[in-house]
Each structure stands twice: as structure tokens, then as C-alpha cells.
């Protein structure tokens, strides 16, 4: 949204609400109304346009039930209407508005007053917009839109005490179904365009005017929460639930508000209590399940998603979540069952196909994996699927086949181009073709000299070659471009620890990475290795055991074995090495320890 300054700023929310009609529609509208409908009377409360914030010519025509004047379509009036329309086509809003204002005042037609109000907003002439809004309100005293529009305009013009009067009137005219949307729009306007103090004061005044309205109480809680007035928000949401104890929206808000205040235990306790009384509340149960996922409480999340799946067998959300949870638990058959259920419900769900391909890859069913990845067709998922396909082809047919598959891929963005280069670099290195990998990355850096991913990739080639100077040059450049880049800090520090005696510098770099990601297994591995190099075997063992527990990786196992051997813990070293060589029998580093393990 645009940023405003001064009296001529553009109020985007009000403009959205006050869109002008298309050029010739205005003339057709007023002509038809004045000629054919003069003398019609009646009232209408418009809630449909309030709900979406837009009034157009068609809806205005349908709103004929308003009090229409008995006005002759004189040549002078016709001229003004045509002048306004032509001026609009030529983007001369000032002239168009002047003609429209004159026409509205002359005819006292509520539709012209409404259009003049909208055009004044678009022309950034807010005093005129208020003037026309007042005329519109006088001519359509039961129209919700006009009161909301006047309230918005008065907030922009820093007249909040007047705005609340019009907002209150709009709420009194709105029906129960549309009041909630109206309150959300009002709340958003107050927070965005008024001061925080004004916003809270205005919504509190509305809450006072409607003490028995759960919608108003919920809006009060929402505004207070956005302004971080949590005590007020807590009180308001409790009031909402007193007025409407069956409100799922209020229950979700209270749960979220408690989590926002770091009162997670209270939030979960409230959610469980509410769900006990309202077991069919899928909205709150889904929010609770997602909270468990984000908190890495997968067992609790699974229980909730199982209930959701039983209650609503037509939704793909629960089976997809259950599939991912079962994949995390390595229960691949169950995950497959849920993903197939997702495809039964939604045959176009390509993420499910990708996950099915991932499971098949993990189970070494590579033909099935390749078939799943090739079945993905959506533009959003196609590139991801093709990257996974390359890996599956590599495992089944070798690196050369994977490289041929990669050559058939066409990037659709600069980032995709970089991703393909990085994957090709990885494949070339795996095939022992380091010179080709270096040439590939060098060529890419010619066009993108400051691309962090490419610089990092070239630094890793330098590390493989034990070229410390080359690694330092590229990683120092990465850290200039993006200070604190955690991968570079870790790789830089580990390389210095592994290939030099610059242990103080290495420790500083790895510690900086560890501070950012204290649970990352690779950074924990680096912390263990630098502590080992510094002679701190106990600290090194603790870091490396923590790293191996988080990720079963051959290099971490290699480091831990070395530390245990150096510390004289031969039996424990043999135990770690035996488990690792069983899982990674082809790892060259682990193989180098075979003789050392057997002789101790």
C-alpha cells in the first residue's frame, strides 16, 4: 500500500471502498434513473457493497429503492454529466469532480452524491469528499456504506470523535451477518490511519455503545492485540466468549492471543477445554494441530489431525499432515496410504506426488520414484519435481544419466538457473570431475559475480582441494555481501580448524555460527572438531555426540571416533565406528579408521 504524507495523501482503503464507475456507465445510470424512475421512493440498507468495499454501476442501478428526486434532465444537467464523463476519460479528475459536485447539489440525487464522494477520494480532495458524503448521508439516511465511508474519511482527516458517530450508525444499520466484516474493516482503518491512542479509544467507544455485541467485543480484542495492549485484549476476548460461548472465531483468537503472550500452557489448556465442550470445532482443532507441528510435538499433532480426518473425510489438510508426520517417523507405508488418500480427494495435488516420489526414493523403489516425479505437471511444482527426478535417476542409472536428465531441464528464472548450476556442480564433484565443476561455477560467476550460492559452491571446491586461500577469498566476499551468513561462518571456521593451526580464528567463526543455530548438527560437528583441535576432548565429545544424535552422518561419526580414540576411549570409539561403517560401508573416511580401530 502507498505511504501517505500531508493532506493530499491517497487513502488506499477508502479509495478501494469508493471506486468510481466506468466512464459512460455514470451517464447511462443517471439518464435512465431521471427519465424512467423519477418519483420512485423507498429505502434500502446496502450491506453487499459494504462487504466487499466496492460499488459499481450495476449495483447502483439495482439500488433504485433509494429516495430519488423528481428532476428534469435539462440540457444544462446533461451537459454537466457529459462534461464530467469526458473529463474522467481525459484523467482530468478536478474538472470531472467539479461538474459532478454541481450536478449532485443541483439534483440532490443520492447516487450522484455517492459518485461525487468516491471521485473526491480518488482526486485526494478529502474535504470535498466529506462534504459530498454528508449530502449522500442526508439523501440516503439508511445506507450503511455512506456511514462507513464518512467514518473512514473523518479518521483520515484526524477527526476521530466525529468518526465514531458514523461508525456507530453504520453498525446499527448492518445486519448480524455483515456486522463482523464491517467491524474488521473499521478496525483496520483505525489502526492503519489513526494514532494508536485514537484507534483504541474509538473502538472502546464502540464497545461501550454495543455492550452486548460479541462482534464488537471481538473487534475490541483484535485492535487491542494489534496495538500490544494485551491486558485490554484479554479482557475483551473473555467478554466475547461470555456473550457468545460457542464462537469458534473467538476461541481461535483467544488461543492465538495466549500463544502470542508466550502463555503456551494456558493456550493449550484453553483449547482442550473448549474442544471438550465443542468437539466439532474443526477450526480451533486445526489451529491447535498446526501449533503442535510448529512446536515439534508431532505425537500431539497426529492425535488432532486423526480426529480432524474422521470428522471431515473430504478435506485434504488432515491426510496431508498425517502423511508428513508419518514420513518424519519413517512410517513410509502409512504415509503412502495418506498421500494416496489426498490424491483420491484432489487428483491435481502435485505436492502429494512429489512426497510419494520421495518415499519411493527412500525405499529404493527408484522406478516408482521416477514415475511419480514425471507425473507432476503443475508449473508451481514442476521444477522441484525435476530436481528430485535427477537425484532418483542418479541413484538408479549413475551420474552421467543424471547429468543428461539435467541438460533437458530449462530454467524459468535466474534463481532456477543457479539451482541447476549448483546441482550440476554437485553431480560433477560426486563423479570426481572437480575441474569441470570449477569451470562450470567460474563461468556462472562471470555473469553473477556476487551470487552468494555460487561463491559458496566455489569455496567448497577449494576446500576439497585444500586450497585455503581460495576458500577464504570467496567466503570473505560472501560475508561482505551478507554479514553473518551462517553456512559461510561454519565452513570457513571448520576449514581453518581442519587444515591450519589458526584455531583461535576458527573458534570465533564457528562460535558465531553456533550462536545463530545452536542445534544444527553440522555446526555442532564443527564445534566438536575445533574443541578437539584445541585439546578439549570432553567438550569435543559432548558436541559430537549431540551432533550424531541429531543426524546420522559418516563424517560426524568419523570425527567422534577420532576424538574417542584420542581420549583413550577405545571401546566406545569401536562401538561408534562399527555402527557407522554398517550404515555407510563405502565411506572412504570411515574406511581409513579400520586399521586404527583394529589395533587398539
Task: Spell out the domain ranges in the chain.
Answer: 1-194, 410-483, 512-600
1-194 topology per CATH = 1.25.40
Residues of the chain with pLDDT under 70: 1-80, 87, 176-177, 180, 191, 194-199, 599-600
Q: How far apart are CA 421 and CA 448, in angstroms?
A: 12
Find out whether 485 and 500 touch, Cβ atoms under 8 Å: no
Task: Kindly state the helix (H) or strand (E) to which residue 68 belongs, with its residue range.
Answer: none
512-600 topology per CATH = 1.25.40
- Decide yes or no: CATH 1.25.40.10 for domain 410-483: yes
Q: Which residues contact 131 (CB under 8 A, 6 or more apart)?
A: 101, 120
Find out whether 251 and 241 touch, Cβ atoms under 8 Å: yes
Q: How far apart are CA 583 and CA 560, in angstroms?
A: 15
Q: How far apart are CA 213 and CA 203, in angstroms?
A: 13
Amino acid 25: pLDDT:
38
Amino acid 210: pLDDT:
75
> How far is CA 566 from each of CA 165, 319, 428, 580, rounded to the nearest angstrom?
80, 50, 35, 18
How many residues appear in the chain? 600
Amino acid 389: pLDDT:
95
Amino acid 91: pLDDT:
77
Q: Which residues contact 101 (CB under 8 A, 6 or more apart)?
A: 116, 120, 128, 131, 132
Amino acid 523: pLDDT:
97
Let me know if the fold of 1-194 is the same as that of 410-483: yes
Listing DSSP states for 3-33 in one string gives PP-STT---HHHHHHTPPPPHHHHHHHHHHH
Residue 85 phi, psi dihedral angles, 5° rounding: -65, -45
Q: How far apart are CA 64 and CA 44, in angstroms?
A: 9
Q: How far apart are CA 293 and CA 286, in angstroms?
A: 11
DSSP 20: P
Amino acid 228: pLDDT:
87
Q: Which region holds residue 485: left if phi is over 0, alpha if psi is between -120 and 50, else beta? A: beta
Q: pLDDT (tens digit, 9 = 90+) per residue, 89-107?
A: 777 778 878 878 888 888 8
Q: pLDDT (tens digit, 9 = 90+) per residue, 449-494?
A: 999 999 999 999 999 999 999 999 999 999 999 999 999 999 999 9
> How far is CA 369 from each of CA 129, 240, 345, 376, 407, rounded to the nearest angstrom?
63, 51, 21, 11, 20
Q: How far apart are CA 459 and CA 472, in angstroms?
A: 8
Q: How far apart are CA 226 and CA 208, in angstroms?
A: 20
Q: How far apart are the first and last CA of the chain?
A: 70
> How far is CA 249 from each of CA 15, 192, 221, rounded to the nearest angstrom?
29, 23, 12
Amino acid 74: pLDDT:
64
Average pLDDT, the chain: 83
Amino acid at each position: 500500500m502507498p505511504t501517505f504524507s500531508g493532506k493530499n495523501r491517497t487513502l488506499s482503503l477508502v479509495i478501494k471502498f469508493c471506486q468510481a464507475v466506468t466512464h459512460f456507465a455514470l451517464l447511462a445510470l443517471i439518464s435512465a434513473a431521471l427519465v424512467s424512475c423519477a418519483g420512485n421512493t423507498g429505502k434500502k440498507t446496502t450491506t453487499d457493497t459494504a462487504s466487499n468495499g466496492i460499488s459499481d454501476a450495476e449495483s447502483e442501478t439495482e439500488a433504485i429503492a433509494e429516495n430519488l428526486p423528481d428532476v428534469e434532465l435539462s440540457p444544462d444537467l446533461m451537459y454537466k454529466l457529459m462534461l464530467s464523463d469526458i473529463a474522467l476519460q481525459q484523467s482530468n479528475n478536478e474538472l470531472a469532480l467539479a461538474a459532478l459536485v454541481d450536478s449532485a447539489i443541483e439534483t440532490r440525487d443520492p447516487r450522484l452524491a455517492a459518485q461525487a464522494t468516491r471521485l473526491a477520494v480518488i482526486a485526494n480532495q478529502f474535504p470535498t469528499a466529506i462534504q459530498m458524503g454528508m449530502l449522500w448521508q442526508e439523501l440516503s439516511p439508511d445506507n450503511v456504506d455512506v456511514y462507513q465511508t464518512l467514518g473512514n474519511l473523518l479518521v483520515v482527516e484526524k477527526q476521530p470523535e466525529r468518526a465514531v458517530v458514523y461508525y456507530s450508525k453504520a453498525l446499527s444499520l448492518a445486519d448480524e451477518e455483515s456486522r463482523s466484516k464491517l467491524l474488521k474493516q473499521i478496525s483496520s482503518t483505525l489502526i492503519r490511519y489513526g494514532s494508536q491512542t485514537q484507534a483504541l479509544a474509538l473502538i472502546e467507544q464502540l464497545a461501550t455503545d454495543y455492550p452486548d455485541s460479541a462482534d464488537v467485543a471481538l473487534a475490541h480484542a483484535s485492535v487491542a492485540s494489534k496495538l500490544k495492549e494485551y491486558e485490554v485484549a484479554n479482557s475483551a476476548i473473555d467478554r466475547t466468549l461470555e456473550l457468545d460461548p460457542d464462537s469458534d472465531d473467538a476461541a481461535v483468537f483467544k488461543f492465538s492471543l495466549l500463544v502470542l503472550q508466550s502463555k503456551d500452557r494456558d493456550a493449550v489448556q484453553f483449547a482442550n477445554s473448549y474442544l471438550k465442550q465443542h468437539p466439532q470445532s474443526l477450526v480451533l482443532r486445526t489451529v491447535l494441530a498446526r501449533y503442535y507441528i510448529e512446536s515439534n510435538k508431532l505425537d500431539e499433532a497426529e492425535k488432532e489431525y486423526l480426529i480432524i480426518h474422521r470428522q471431515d473425510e473430504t478435506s485434504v489438510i488432515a491426510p496431508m499432515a498425517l502423511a508428513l508426520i508419518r514420513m518424519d517417523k519413517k512410517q513410509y507405508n502409512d504415509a503412502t496410504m495418506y498421500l494416496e488418500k489426498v490424491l483420491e480427494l484432489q487428483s491435481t495435488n502435485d505436492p502429494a506426488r512429489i512426497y510419494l516420489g520421495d518415499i519411493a526414493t527412500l525405499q529404493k523403489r527408484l522406478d516408482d520414484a521416477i514415475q511419480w516425479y514425471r507425473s507432476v505437471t503443475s508449473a508451481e511444482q514442476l521444477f522441484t519435481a525435476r530436481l528430485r527426478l535427477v537425484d532418483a535417476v542418479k541413484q538408479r542409472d549413475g551420474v552421467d544419466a543424471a547429468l543428461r536428465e539435467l541438460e533437458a531441464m530449462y530454467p524459468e528464472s535466474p534463481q532456477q538457473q543457479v539451482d541447476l548450476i549448483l546441482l550440476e556442480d554437485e553431480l560433477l564433484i560426486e563423479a570426481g570431475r572437480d575441474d569441470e565443476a570449477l569451470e562450470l561455477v567460474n563461468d556462472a560467476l562471470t555473469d553473477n559475480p556476487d551470487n552468494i550460492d555460487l561463491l559458496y559452491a566455489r569455496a567448497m571446491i577449494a576446500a576439497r582441494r585444500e586450497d585455503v586461500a581460495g576458500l577464504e577469498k570467496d567466503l570473505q566476499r560472501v560475508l561482505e555481501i551478507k554479514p553473518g551468513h551462517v553456512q559461510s561462518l561454519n565452513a570457513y571456521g571448520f576449514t581453518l580448524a581442519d587444515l591450519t593451526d589458526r584455531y583461535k580464528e576458527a573458534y570465533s567463526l564457528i562460535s558465531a555460527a553456533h550462536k545463530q543455530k545452536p542445534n544444527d548438527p553440522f555446526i555442532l560437528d564443527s564445534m566438536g572438531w575445533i574443541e578437539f583441535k584445541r585439546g578439549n576432548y570432553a567438550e569435543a565429545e559432548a558436541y559430537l555426540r549431540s551432533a550424531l544424535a541429531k543426524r546420522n552422518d559418516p563424517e560426524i561419526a568419523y570425527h567422534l571416533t577420532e576424538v574417542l580414540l584420542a581420549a583413550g576411549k577405545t571401546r566406545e570409539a569401536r562401538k561408534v565406528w562399527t555402527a557407522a561403517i554398517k550404515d555407510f560401508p563405502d565411506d572412504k573416511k570411515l574406511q581409513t579408521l579400520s586399521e586404527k580401530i583394529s589395533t587398539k
